[in-house]
């Protein structure tokens, strides 16, 4: 009888032991599956609501640039409008050149303030017109943007082209905007005289209600594109990165980015706590953090 009881007791212990091992194995498997498939902390995008961030990273409202280009028939007006839209510290300067059966405009921020196109300037966007097609392409932090539309020249474009018919290469391109044509045209750079006048104008403009309204629209635009700005550090040009690296730690941009980094860290800690709670005795998770170049040139004194 005693032997039988020992056998039964031993069998019970064995069954309980196997059951406990099975339970531990299932718990461990559940923990591993949860950790494997639980969402990892999502990087917090740059604070694009901030003018400091948009200005430092070269973010520009390209929807309004597009609208201005379609509505404007004078280079001086277009240049001024782009500098009204843009929130950066330095001026946006332009270069234009004939390309095939059309032309290309290149817009850069004059990061070194030299008033001339240098290797330090950062390309913000290009605007190309080929035949009856116009394409606006962003660069740097704006690299995500590309839009193409039917190009319609001003109503008097044909007459303007006839006026400069002696420029046969231009006359063969009837959709080349007349405001980029002038006798002896061999390319275009924002003239220094206009640079100075636009700079003076912008100083007053940025203290106006019109600029505050523009900033509000820029903020709405940036919010609508916020997912595109998650990895601006990977699309910023070497010129822009150099410019940003030289900013003091007390600058609005550096402070905003530090706050964004702290927010990312808080998000990661919160995710870790959630993971630990759901997996029982196990806590912890693994985190993974996730160039367009301008080219030199000389800005001449000729312009429009």
Tell me the per-residue pLDDT of 233-276, one tens digit each, with 9 for 90 and over: 678 899 999 999 999 887 888 887 777 667 655 554 555 454 44
Structural domain contains residue 157: yes
Structural domain contains residue 176: yes
DSSP 141: G
Structural domain contains residue 38: no
Structural domain contains residue 43: no
Q: Is residue 292 very low, low, confident or very high in pLDDT (cuts 50, 70, 90)?
A: very low
Structural domain contains residue 77: yes
Q: Report the domain count for the chain.
A: 1
Domain that holds residue 162: 51-220
Best CA proximity match to 187, nearest among 172, 165, 167: 167
Structural domain contains residue 67: yes
pLDDT for the residue numbered 121: 96
pLDDT single digits (tens) 76-101: 889 999 999 999 999 999 998 878 77
- Long-range contacts (CB closer than 8 Å, 24 or more residues apart) made by 121-126: 121/93, 121/239, 121/294, 122/58, 122/237, 122/239, 122/240, 122/243, 122/294, 123/237, 123/292, 123/293, 123/294, 124/58, 124/60, 124/86, 124/92, 125/60, 125/62, 125/65
pLDDT single digits (tens) 132-191: 889 999 999 999 999 999 887 666 655 655 555 454 444 444 445 544 555 455 677 899
SS3 187: coil
Cα dihedral value 168, 173, 177, 179, nearest 10:
-10
pLDDT single digits (tens) 6-48: 544 555 445 445 454 455 555 555 444 444 444 444 444 556 7
Structural domain contains residue 240: no
Structural domain contains residue 15: no
Q: Is residue 294 very low, low, confident or very high in pLDDT (cuts 50, 70, 90)?
A: very low
Contact between 84 and 64 under an 8 Å Cβ cutoff? The reply is: no
pLDDT for the residue numbered 227: 75
Q: Is residue 108 very low, low, confident or very high in pLDDT (cuts 50, 70, 90)?
A: very high
């Amino acid at each position: 009888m005693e032997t039988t009881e020992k056998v039964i007791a031993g069998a019970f212990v064995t069954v309980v032991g196997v059951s406990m091992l099975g339970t531990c194995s299932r718990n461990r498997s559940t923990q591993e599956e949860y950790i494997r498939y639980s969402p990892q902390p999502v990087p917090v995008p740059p604070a694009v609501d901030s003018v400091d961030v948009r200005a430092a990273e070269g973010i520009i409202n390209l929807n309004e640039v597009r609208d201005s280009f379609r509505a404007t028939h004078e280079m001086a007006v277009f240049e001024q409008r782009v500098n009204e839209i843009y929130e950066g510290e330095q001026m946006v300067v332009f270069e234009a050149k004939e390309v095939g059966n059309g032309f290309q405009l290149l817009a850069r921020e004059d990061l070194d303030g030299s008033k001339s196109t240098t290797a330090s300037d950062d390309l913000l966007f290009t605007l190309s017109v080929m035949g009856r097609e116009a394409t606006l392409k962003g660069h740097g932090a704006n690299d995500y943007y590309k839009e193409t539309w039917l190009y319609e020249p001003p109503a008097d474009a044909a007459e303007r082209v006839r006026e400069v018919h002696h420029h046969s290469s231009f006359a063969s391109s009837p959709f080349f905007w007349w405001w980029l044509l002038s006798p002896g045209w061999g390319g275009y750079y924002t003239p220094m005289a206009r640079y100075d006048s636009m700079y003076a104008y912008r100083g007053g403009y940025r203290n106006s209600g019109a600029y505050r309204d523009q900033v509000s629209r820029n903020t709405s635009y940036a919010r609508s594109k916020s997912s595109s700005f998650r990895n601006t550090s990977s699309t910023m040009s070497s010129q822009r990165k150099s410019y940003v690296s030289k900013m003091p730690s007390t600058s609005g941009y550096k402070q905003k980015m530090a706050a964004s980094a702290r927010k990312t860290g808080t998000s990661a800690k919160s995710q870790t706590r959630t993971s630990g709670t759901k997996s029982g005795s196990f806590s912890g998770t693994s985190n993974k953090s996730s160039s367009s170049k301008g080219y030199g040139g000389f800005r001449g004194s000729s312009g429009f």
